[in-house]
Amino acid sequence: MSKFLATITEKLEETPLMTGREATAPRAETNKVIIQRLWEEGWFAEPRGLGEVHSEMAGHGFHYNRTAVAHALIDVVKEGVLNREGRPRRYQYVQK
């Protein structure tokens, strides 16, 4: 899947879209990659709920379905990148 997205991103960079006077290339990134980037930036230093994660991603221009974000968070927890605290429907995700 990542090779597929890398190929798409590469092709999109070859034909940038014009916005005003400057050209910007569209991004093809999975929600899991965005979550990992937030982790790298230390954004998960404080416990964050699903709603906060979803809003932060939207603030960066990534508008994913909340269910997809929840599944990506579970994947990142399983990989040992984040800890999950709390109880169902109230989980908080925090950096290890």
pLDDT in tens, 48-60: 999 999 999 999 9
CATH classification of the domain holding 77: 1.10.10.10
Residue 67 lies in a domain: yes
- Domain assignment of residue 66, given as a range: 27-95
Instruction: Supply the pLDDT for residue 7.
Output: 73
Alpha carbon distance 26, 18 (integer Å): 11
User: What percentage of residues in the chain have a pLDDT greater than 70?
Assistant: 76
Residue 20 lies in a domain: no
This prediction has a pTM of 0.70
Number of structural domains the chain divides into: 1
Residue 56 lies in a domain: yes
Range 10-14, long-range pairs (CB < 8 A, 24+ positions)? none
Residue 18 lies in a domain: no
